[in-house]
């Protein structure tokens, strides 16, 4: 009798994926390295970045005073820099790295690159 172990990733199952681009080539044509774009998914405004380390998505509103982070730039330390007061947010964790505001985070969203496209995940 064959034993089959089923593994169910609850976290993955609770994410709904939205395609942003069909291919990496399309993303490269439409996105400069380290210059985020705004992506609107349902009611969520997202700052979507293409960096040397891959694609990252964070909430577009800066947690300091609400500036649009997609109007900022990314640096080579995998941070997005707010255009208003230059606070820097880690693209992976969302943590504010400038040290100006302790415990300030911007919300992060998962991204994935597959043969079928480039996706941003939102919790269901």
Record the tokens describing residue 18, joined without a space. 């939205």
Which is closer to ligand FES, CB of 34 or CB of 97? 97
Least Å distance, CB 103 to ligand FES, is 15
19, 38, 76, 85: which one contacts ligand FES (CB under 6 A)?
85
Print the binding letters for residues 49-78 with ligand FES: x by CB under 6 A, - otherwise: -------------x-xx-x-----------
Give the DSSP per-residue string, 23-90. Answer: SHHHHHHH--TT--EEEEETTEEEEEEEETTEEEEEESB-TTT--BGGGSEE-TTSEEE-TTT--EEE
Q: Is 92 in the site for ligand FES (CB under 6 A)?
A: no
Give the C-alpha separation, 120 to 111, whole Å: 4
| Interaction site with ligand FES (CB under 6 A) | 62, 64-65, 67, 82, 84-85, 87
């Amino acid at each position: 009798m064959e034993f089959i172990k089923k593994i169910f990733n609850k976290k993955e199952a609770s994410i709904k994926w939205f395609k942003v681009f069909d291919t990496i080539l399309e993303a490269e044509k439409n996105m400069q390295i380290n210059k985020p774009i705004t992506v609107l998914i349902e009611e969520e405004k997202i700052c979507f970045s293409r960096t040397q380390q891959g694609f990252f998505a964070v909430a577009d509103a800066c947690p300091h005073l609400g500036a649009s982070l997609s109007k900022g730039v990314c640096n080579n330390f995998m941070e997005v820099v707010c255009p208003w007061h230059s606070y820097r947010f880690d693209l992976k964790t969302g943590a504010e790295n400038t040290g100006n505001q302790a415990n300030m985070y911007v919300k992060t969203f998962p991204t994935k690159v597959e043969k079928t496209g480039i996706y941003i995940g939102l919790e269901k």
